[in-house]
Structure 1
Amino acid sequence: MSDRPAGGFVSRDGVRLHVLRWESAGPALVLVPGLGQSAHVFRELAPALAGDFRVIAFTPRGHGQSATPTGDYTLEGFADDLRAVLDGLQVERAIVVAHSLGGTVATRLAVRSPGRVRGIVYLDALHDYGRWGEVMMRNPFPPPPRPDFGDRDATRAWMTRYVPGFWCDALEADLKAHAWTDMASWRSELVMGLLDDATVHPTPYAQLRCPALALVAAESLRTQFGWLQPMEGADRERAEAYLRTVREPWRRASEARFVREAPGARVVRIDGGHYFFLTARDRVAAEIRAFASSLTPLDT
């Protein structure tokens, strides 16, 4: 199986949506990126799955090589885009693997079109966005602002040092896929409405009718404040207190709601930060394969 995917587009109501495909005879598995990223961010995870699945990575509207219409930048709209990708590629049912805010999109697709989703794997995607702003504001050592749109080199350097704190081929491909003109700033204004939507409308886990697995980051001083290492004295105490009393309770409360509400839900912690599917690729791929193998005939 080649690591190089086939690229293409699917349209919904005239809006071109970019996809990458690693074709095989296996069951369909669709990868959904988080806010601000494209199908290219999965260029390292997808080949690790392609021997067992027909892997399709989807780029939402306003991102990467997909079109940038003026409307439908809502979680429901993105779920409709994802369903259009399934329709356009003649996928009747799929396992959906979604990163970050993409998890809310996957959930809405499964709730609105339960016959299309065999199961969901969430990749660090259980955040309670209603409290996200508060948690970020209480961070004692936030990274500096991201560089202005249009400066690709500065963006690469910022991401390598701060978020996610490393660099790899998939992130490079994702970076190159984005617009670097005035379009980039306009796109940002459009898609940020998704965060507002997620803040007002919590992810409806209780309405799921398919199995669900959440792989979540096992955060640490290294993953959250890597650019400040080694931390010592009062700074280390403040950072540890933030993780222990603010960030960790926020994350655990989100996980508890997921387990309480989603049928048969399970949570597995993976060492690493928010992008652990790139740093722990083989472990993540193994968890996805095991989840797929656990689906009963009723889920297929």
Structure 2
Amino acid sequence: MPWVRTSDGIRLHYSESGRRSGPPVLMIQGLGADKHLWNLQRLALAPRYRTIAFDNRGAGRSDKPYGAYTMEQMADDAAAVLDHAGVESAHVIGASMGGVISQIMAIRYPERIRSLVLACTACHHHAWRKELLADWADTAQHEGMAAMTAKAARWVIGPRSFRRLAPALGWMGPLGFSRPAHAFAGQVAGILSIDDGLAEQLPGIEVPTLVIVGNQDILTPRGDSEEIAEHIPTAELVVISGAAHGFMIEHATTFNRIMLDFFERAEHAVAAELPIASPDAAVG
């Protein structure tokens, strides 16, 4: 499993799977997650695509420096992973915080992006969400990661799944967030530092883009995805009925089907240098 060292000295861990000769897909996870949360998608992509999944700084097996991170640093990290893997351009899929990193990457490194999948993410702050994330960081640092996980679970897991999983959250927390609180707080600081001018730069994105959200997502509600889709000229919006913030796991079959269909169309568009816009859709 390869390691790459970034320009500021941080070591990042990544792994590859799937078809080595296939179109590359770079996968960027969100706050509190490591590359393994893409496992269900990597299995679905493996027969045709080469997947590259990495741990953001502050997560998984990557370095966990003290202090605040920035989304720009993390976009540069993603580009460094592509460099190390010898990939000139890739389809990029980002979830939640990873979706923000993907947007910034598409703005900073447009030549590296074949297409974008932006899942359960946003392009600007809400005051309530800033307060919520700051509270999570404070809880992590003063009460521990398990307490933070229990507090955050209702915002990430759908109501039905939450009722089923609630008894297990006490021991699942340390497994799902197996890193020190300072690293989690560093990622939160990066999110809170995002310039709301990001939305104004999105019209410059020209690659095929899929914006996807669950209609029960309360952390990054549908309106956030609608805003992104309105700003990116090439974007299409898909809403998954009954899905919450963690639909990549809870509704993996539906999400994977949508993702595979999009990547197939995006590959054709890249080859033909044509747009692939399709009507906005809701999926039950």
Which bracket does the TM-score occupy, shorter chain normalised? 0.7 to 0.9
Aligned length: 253
Q: What residue number does 1:175 align with?
A: 175
Structure 2 Cα separation of the partners of residues 78 and 115 of structure 1: 17
Amino acid at match of 1:11: R
Q: Does 1:22 align with 2:22?
A: no
In 2, the alpha carbon distance for the partners of 1:269 and 1:50 equals: 25
3-state SS of 2:257 partner: helix
8 Å Cα contact 1:41/1:173 also seen in 2: no
Distance 1:61 1:269 in 2: 30
Name the structure 2 match of 1:68: 64
1:258-297 C-alpha deviation (Å, 9 max, x unpaired): 2322022111011311011111112211111111121211
Q: What secondary structure is seen at the aligned counterpart in 1 of 2:194?
A: helix
**CA spacing shift, 1:299–1:109, aligned 2, 3 Å:** farther
Q: 1:218 aligns with which of 215, 218, 221?
A: 215
Task: Name the counterpart of 2:282.
Answer: none
Structure-1-length-normalised TM-score: 0.73
- Secondary structure (helix, strand or coil) at the match of 2:4 reads strand
* SS of residue in 2 equivalent to 1:192: helix
Are 1:267 and 2:262 an aligned pair?
Answer: no
Separation of aligned partners in 2, 1:163 and 1:52: 30
Say what the alpha-carbon RMSD is for the aligned residues. Answer: 3.3
Q: Is the 8 A contact 1:97 1:122 kept in 2?
A: yes
- In structure 2, C-alpha distance between the alignment counterparts of 1:205 and 1:257, rounded to whole Å: 10
Q: Determine which structure has more spread, i.e. the larger CA radius of gyration.
A: 1
CA distance in 2, matches of 1:108, 1:173: 29
**1:147 and 1:158 in contact (8 A); partners too:** no
Structure 1 gap ranges (5+): 1-6, 138-144, 225-246
State the distance in 2 between where 1:99 and 1:162 align: 15
Query: Could you give the per-residue CA deviations for residues 57-100 of structure 1, whole angstroms, max 9, x where no partner exists?
Result: 12111112110234671111100000000000111111111101
Structure 2: runs of 5+ lacking an equivalent: 134-138, 275-284
- Cα distance in 2 for partners of 1:299, 1:174 equals 46
Q: For the structure 1 residues 79 and 264, does the alpha-carbon distance in structure 2 shift closer, same or farther, using more than 3 Å as the test?
A: same
CA distance in 2, matches of 1:108, 1:114: 9
- CA 1:258–1:41 in structure 2 vs 1: closer, same or farther (change >3 Å)? same
Provide closer, same or farther for how the CA distance between residues 284 and 176 of structure 1 changes in structure 2, counting only shifts above 3 A. Answer: closer
- Structure 1: distance between partners of 2:42 and 2:120: 17
The structural deviation recorded for 1:11 is 1.5
Task: Write the deviation string for residues 197-243 of structure 1: whole angstroms up to 9, x where unpaired.
Answer: 23644343212121111111111xxx76xxxxxxxxxxxxxxxxxxx
CA shift, 1:257, in A, is 2.7
Tell whether the 8 Å contact from 2:155 to 2:245 is kept in structure 1 after alignment: no
TM superposition shift of 1:195: 2.1
Q: How far does residue 20 in structure 1 lie from its aligned partner after superposition?
A: 2.6
Question: One-letter code of the match for 1:8?
Answer: P
Query: Once structures 1 and 2 are overlaid, which stretch shifts more, 69-78 or 81-90?
Result: 69-78
Structure 2 equivalent of residue 32 of structure 1: 28
Identity of aligned residues (%): 26
TM-score, normalised to structure 2's length? 0.76
In structure 2, C-alpha distance between the alignment counterparts of 1:37 and 1:115, rounded to whole Å = 27
Aligned equivalent of 2:257: 286
